[in-house]
Structure 1
Amino acid sequence: MEELDVAVIGYGPTGAVLAHLLGQCGLDVLVLERESSAYHLPRAVHFDAEIMRILQWVGVAHEMEPLTAKHPGMRFVDAAGKTLLEWPRPQGTGPQGWRANYRFHQPDLERVLRAKIADRPNVAVRTRSELFFVEDRGSHVDLRYEDMSCGKVRHVRAKYVVGCDGARSLIRRFIESGMEDMGFHERWLVVDLILHREKPELGEWSVQYCVPERPATYVRGPGMRRRWEITVRDDDDALSMTHPEKVWGLLAPWIKPEEAELERAAVYVFHSLVAEQWRKGRLLLAGDACHQTPPFMGQGMCAGIRDAANLYWKLALVCQGRAGEELLDSYASERRPNAHEYIATAVRLGGLINASNTETALRAALPGAEGSARMESIAPALGPGLGTEGKAGRLFGQPRLADGRLLDDAFPHRFVVVAETALARGLALPDSVELVTPETSPDAATHLAQFGARAVVLRPDRYTLGTAETPQALGAIVARILPCPLQLQKTEMV
């Protein structure tokens, strides 16, 4: 029987990123995927700077960046064209070391992630493999799957299993988790087009058309790709909605059939659900298996990749015997509230898009807003977990070192202290923790000032374990990493 550290079920972006990061930490990983190849049509179309930073860890960020389009922001407009809500996005390099937001073509991301897996000799990927048996035996998990290329049943034993297997997750069924319903369930027609030539009047901004009779969304993709999402009403037949004649009729306000190729038209049901239980023993969930969101914030895939970033280093520590399995309890306690807040915001924005009284809906979406309003980017903190004080569980920026390297390239998968020189003087650090000060990073002081702290202790996922204003407080936070329960072996990103 094959034995390994972690079995990842599902090879979408969440499963692929998780497999990469676990492999970088030296774990033996098996990825099981039912399909023979990645889905060839676009699905997710947006990710943010945090996700690009994670792709930097994986080693594909610089390959992905030229394949993306800039994203200036989103506008919500009413039937008369009046702007109700504007959500501009910062341009240029931000504190994470990357642009704030990116538009992308998901098959491009899946292609580069899958190609890069060849650099992970301890990660095995088996496509056309259908899992059907999962049994947590306390000390390990026994798995059986059918190799559909030959019809044989294979047996595998893993220390942990992570279900990245989507909304119909088999692993969630074995966990027997219920789903919290946040109240949004709507059918929408998703249309992807490829323009024959540039059509600048469509604009660079994403636009939410808050028209009660037929709400719609326009999204600019990379290159010549454009997307529209259009509400399917209760009296609409889903099948007829995808007929080309119907599709082009709905798109008539924006584009004509001779101006673009219709790549895909499909009706989807957008849900707002969060799994009640993300872990049971040695079984865990990530991605759509444990949360589903309406698309109005572009955070569905992002949430899954955040799950992977939160979970990978904890699994690495536990599998390597450097931490007790109780460390894994912090995964759901930290990630679930964060995902929940993003979904709640998306549901409120969905209420604005569908509203007949847009002024009332605007106040519901953004309390205190009147007329037209501007929305600021949100970045919810993690829920209760490893950190205990006020600024614990918040994402920190990525300083650049004096030699030009970004922090995460220099110290991958490591705990890092970023501190004013005076606070760090005389600080005793174990080999597992790195130190960055204004003496070694020209912009460390700027990052600290923006965060409002004199010192931060960063986890491998670059969320804060804690902040400190005195040498004594900093030493106390560092001591929580000792003597060894929260140490990762030093590894190099490739």
Structure 2
Amino acid sequence: MHDVAIVGFGPTGAVLANLLVKRGLRVLVVEREAEIYALPRAIHFDAENMRIFQTLGLAAALEPQVLVSPGMKFVDAAGRVLIDYTRSKDLGPQGWHASYRFHQPVLESLLRAHLAQHGGATVRLRHDLFALEPMQDHVVLRVEDTRRGRLLQTRARYVVGCDGARSLVRRLMGTELDDLQAHERWLVLDLRLKRPRPDLGDHSLQFCDPQRPATYVRGVGDRRRWEIMLMPGDDPQQLTRPEGIWPLLSKWIGPEDADIERPALYTFHSVVARGWRQGRLMIAGDAAHQTPPFMGQGMCAGVRDAVNLAWKLADVVQGQAAPALLDTYESERAPHAREFIETAVRLGGVIQDTDVERARARDARMAAQPEVFRTPTPPLGPGAHDGVVDGSVVGRLAPQPVMPDGRRLDDALGYRFAAIAPQAWLDALPADALGDDRLRRVATETADGQAWLQGCGVPALLLRPDRHVAGVAVDAAGLRMLVSRYVGGPASTASNAGRTAQATP
């Protein structure tokens, strides 16, 4: 029997599989397609995602394949800046650049190759899930091997649906979606340049033109993307043909400059699922939430789901925590994902306004004093941490300092809890129950420890495997309580998980 079955092998499912295998779990991946989709889809990820790829050991292979992005600007029909979302090209608090462009098939290939290299996962391509039967201590999966036309069944302790916006796992769970009421049809056009066009620039541009809202995105290498909002009277089928596409792009580019790689019609949705877990069934990625693309956070949110859920599943399966810990997955992630989606909806409201008079008033107001936009940094919702209060680092992603010798400090921690505290406090922890494979101890007297706590304003803290702060301590006794509560075995973890889950609205 498998420990965890993952339905769907896109970025969310592949990251989750890699993290679970890293913890020693037996993983099954079920994917209906035979190959990685070869054309562009997601093209942006952020520093937090790169930090997760670093945890997997993929950063060195990924760096040559990505482009550091300078950010995005919203401009009116006359080219005046309304919102400036420029990103620093310096390394940020996560130890990485704030924004990256990438080619999704390359990322997926690296994730799959890494999983195959390290073993521990059974991957079944061209296998289509059609039924789930939850039992007391496992789930029966019924699957069709579409290559051979055979019906199969297998078992897993837990099942995670990473199977996209039309998730079958979500439907079998009976989970409904909260609709944030932002649905617009857009034409997405991926092109490959035939010759250099440096005048197009590296910033993404949101053209807030009420006559025809549009987006330009610089991809990696010779790839460029335009997104064009459909207007009343448009013939969608005509607009996906070259004779319909090139007139839409004529102000920027023509057929002498580029080839059309992919035209696709999308309806941008904004939804959040209510109920990410039902017993042994869970959902992640687009199965749990969908966002308009105006912040480039769609794939980022799914990868965050994976890193939040993976260590919790591993702790539960390996007997380090009670199943109640899994309830903190939705309670922590749903408010976080919702804030990003609501922000994307607000930004979409700026670009998608097609009322000419209202847009003219907006332009005059915003162009006179452009808004400087910053990515929201919401804390986790209630869950496996001591609770979020103003000014506290608890429930938030800890920074990752880069040392003078170039080391990023996550590499010193490994994929586990970490207590960062004075050496005497660390010496007082119960070493017999907490080996180095479970808890990494970092003394504040060392350069590593000093770098971690710099700017946190606390003498000690406990980091979770996903690099969020579980709690802070002001003395040795407080540190012992933190470690007992979150690292010290099923009883303490179950108690805390139950308390925090009950606090969730």
Same fold (TM over 0.5): yes
The residue correspondences of 1:144-163 to structure 2 (distance < 5 A) are 144-163=142-161
Q: Does residue 1:436 correspond to 2:446, yes or no?
A: no
Cα 1:401/1:90, change in 2 over 3 Å: closer
Correspondence list, 1:72-471, <5 A: 72-355=70-353, 356=355, 357-358=358-359, 371-389=369-387, 390=389, 391-400=393-402, 405-419=407-421, 430-431=434-435, 432-442=438-448, 444-471=449-476
Q: Which amino acid aligns with 1:251?
A: L
Distance 1:423 1:94, change over 3 A: farther
Q: 1:39 to 1:279 in 2, by over 3 A?
A: same
Contact 2:76–2:363 (8 Å) recurs in 1: no
1:224 partner letter: D
User: C-alpha offsets along residues 17-63 of structure 1, whole Å, 9 cap, x if unaligned?
Assistant: 10111111111100000000011110001000110111112222211
Distance 2:488 2:263 in 1: 56
Structure 2 gap ranges (5+): 494-505
RMSD: 2.3
The one-letter code sitting in structure 2 at the alignment partner of 1:410 is A
Deviation at 1:363, TM superposition (A): 12
Pair 38,447 (structure 1): closer, same or farther in 2 beyond 3 Å: same
Identify if the C-alpha distance between structure 1 residues 363 and 458 changes in structure 2 by more than 3 Å, giving closer, same or farther. Answer: farther
SS in 2 for 1:315: helix
Give distance in 1, aligned partners of 2:216 and 2:413.
40
Counterpart amino acid of 1:61?
A: A
- Confirm whether residue 481 of structure 1 aligns to residue 486 of structure 2: yes
Return the offset for 1:5: 0.5
Quote the sequence identity (%): 51
- Contact 1:272/1:343 (<8 A) preserved: yes
Name whichever of 7-16 and 114-123 sits farther off. Answer: 114-123
CA distance in 2: counterparts of 1:106 and 1:98, whole angstroms: 19
- The amino acid that maps onto 1:263 is E
3-state secondary structure, aligned to 1:348: helix
Relative to structure 1, the CA distance from residue 482 to residue 225 in structure 2 (aligned partners, 3 Å threshold; closer, same or farther) is closer
Counterparts of 2:175 and 2:487, CA distance in 1 = 35
User: What does residue 490 of structure 1 align with?
Assistant: none
Cα separation, 2, equivalents of 1:254 and 1:75: 16
User: How far apart, CA to CA, are the structure 1 residues paired with 2:364 and 2:3?
Assistant: 49
- Number of matched residues? 481
Contact 1:397 1:447 in 2 (8 A): yes
Query: Does the aligned pair in 1 maintain the 2:7–2:163 contact within 8 Å?
Result: yes
Residue type of the alignment partner of 1:189: L
Q: More displaced, 342-351 or 71-80?
A: 71-80
Q: Tell me the distance in 1 between the aligned counterparts of 2:251 and 2:455.
A: 44
Using a 3 Å threshold, how does the CA distance of structure 1 residues 379 and 109 change in structure 2: closer, same or farther? same
**Cα shift readout 1:263-309 (whole Å, capped 9, x = no counterpart):** 11111110001111101010000000010000000000000010000
| Partner amino acid, structure 2, of 1:385 | G
Q: Which amino acid aligns with 2:326?
A: L
Paired residue type of 1:304: G
Contact 2:417 2:440 in 1 (8 A): yes
Any idea what the Cα deviations from partners look like across 1:137-159, whole Å, max 9, x if unmatched?
A: 12110111011121111110110
| Aligned equivalents of 2:488, 2:66: Cα separation in 1 | 44
Deviations 1:102-126 (A, max 9, x none): 0011111011111112123210111
